Structure 1
């Protein structure tokens, strides 16, 4: 029997789960999903993207029962996070961060960035039972916590800076290969990877003027070309001579089209930046 989205929903319902359709926007892309609850009292429910589940099941020759067993295992996992924290001023101030994504219509606390086509938004970053998670901040959450959007962006900017990282690209490659760094501190590298300590949603490092200025002072170069690599990191190229911006934009476009997941792409652009 062919596995379909409807057959998965029907089987989950037969097993006593409450399934409802959800339309989510991820980085400007609309996705159809379903939320699955064990009971009406559940305040947190995972969103499942069943079209992707069906594709994976077909590739792995899974039966409907095997597919729903795996989803049931996911849904049944205990998530002991205290949802009331999301409306606590102290909790938000500690865990609020700024992310960047393509400009879109998603209802969030957000604003236009200085980089055309890219918007800034607020999200909560935390761990639960040793696993990282993030939640995009909705206006009502800030209202219930009694905090203004302006205050939250100020706090998030400070939190982001504490986690700012800028490493020569070749040093990162060396680390992945298990060897020593290729360059020394203060030496101008061809490219720097900007991100955060977790390397998750770290492309917002492009907004950290203080962090970039510190890098500029360290290497003695204050003009750069910024390449938005993905929502997780961006590339900073020291501008030591005239540059061909069209060439850089073509480079970003090619990498986006061949390497970066559509849900993690920013824009097919390159930007000049002065620190």
Structure 2
């Protein structure tokens, strides 16, 4: 069964199982890096929220050996659990005083998301863009549910883009504090033995990982106040920031690094071979110079 056939058949199967007063429709959504995802949108009479369950993961389960009925049951079970949780209904989301303490920042690639950025408030940063989300739910196992802030939300809330930016900037570090660890410690925690790039025979590469407390969209930790300044003080030298994914960046001290162009080749290779397309942040390494206290693009990017 092709993915398109799976999607159409699943929509029919789920619709047939819903109780009166509830409905489902298929929706294609533009996600990070221009990827379109298909999901089932559930609606219910008298309920303002419409949860969406995306189907790619469930098609993978079907391909891995689960029966179609098993997968349909999993989707219906998830909808049932979401339906019972009305902690963030449409009325709560429509009031700015409710969402303001939950606004957070995320970093995405600017060029790869040109279409999306036409629809959402954002702030350019290097070759990236800062976008804003409402942190709807953060569960004990670090699963996260968010809502992307779009331009129409600003109208609902009667606020400016600057107000949202300021609130999100203040909240993100509090809700999702930064974590800074050696790359070896992170890989050991994940059960991996080797780093994605090899050290030279003398072990010259000293690499660290900067992310947030849940390792989800943790690359935005580079935006936190003084975090890069503190890393520079710890390393006692300038350093590269390698955008390894939207979830984390790798910190590479200048004394341990090859040239800027060679570093860019490393980032590009990792993105092409080890990072899902939807999770790529950038192919461009950045450089933090302590005397300037800011990240910089490589010279060839500035000239482009």
Q: 1:69 aligns with which of 54, 69, 73?
A: 73
- Residues 204-224 of structure 1: per-residue CA shift (max 9 Å, x gap): 122235111122123322x22
Show the counterpart of 2:133.
Answer: 123
Show the counterpart of 2:99.
Answer: 92
Maintained 8 Å contact 1:28/1:102: yes
Show the counterpart of 1:42.
Answer: 47
- State how far apart, in whole Å, the 2-side matches of 1:242 and 1:50 are: 41
Q: Any stretches of 5+ residues in structure 2 without a counterpart?
A: 192-204, 294-304
Q: 2:170 aligns with which of 153, 158, 166?
A: 158
Answer with 167-176 or 75-84: which moved more: 167-176
- Residues 43-75 of structure 1: per-residue CA shift (max 9 Å, x gap): 33332333553342132151x322222211111
Q: 2:235 aligns with which of 219, 227, 244?
A: 219
Q: 2:268 aligns with which of 243, 253, 259?
A: 253
Corresponding residue pairs, total = 261
Q: Any stretches of 5+ residues in structure 1 without a counterpart?
A: 178-188
Q: CA deviation at 1:8?
A: 1.4
Maintained 8 Å contact 1:38/1:76: no
**Aligned-partner SS, 2:99:** helix
Show the counterpart of 1:146.
Answer: 158
Maintained 8 Å contact 2:244/2:250: yes
Show the counterpart of 2:300.
Answer: none
Maintained 8 Å contact 1:21/1:32: no
**Aligned-partner SS, 1:227:** strand
- State how far apart, in whole Å, the 2-side matches of 1:267 and 1:153 are: 22
Q: 2:146 aligns with which of 134, 138, 161?
A: 134
Answer with 8-17 or 260-269: which moved more: 8-17
Answer with 89-98 or 38-47: which moved more: 38-47
Check 1:140–1:54 CA distance in 2 against 1; reply closer, same or farther (3 A cut). Answer: same
**Aligned-partner SS, 1:99:** strand
Q: CA deviation at 1:143?
A: 3.0
- State how far apart, in whole Å, the 1-side matches of 2:239 and 2:8 are: 51
Maintained 8 Å contact 2:33/2:277: no
> Are 2:203 and 1:201 equivalent residues in the alignment?
no
- Residues 169-224 of structure 1: per-residue CA shift (max 9 Å, x gap): 234345557xxxxxxxxxxx822211112221110122235111122123322x22
Answer with 198-207 or 226-235: which moved more: 198-207
Q: CA deviation at 1:240?
A: 2.9
Aligned alpha-carbon RMSD (Å):
2.7
Maintained 8 Å contact 1:191/1:238: yes
**Aligned-partner SS, 2:41:** strand
Q: 2:253 aligns with which of 230, 233, 238?
A: 238
- State how far apart, in whole Å, the 1-side matches of 2:96 and 2:54 are: 32
Show the counterpart of 1:81.
Answer: 87
- State how far apart, in whole Å, the 1-side matches of 2:39 and 2:17 are: 16
- State how far apart, in whole Å, the 1-side matches of 2:276 and 2:31 are: 12
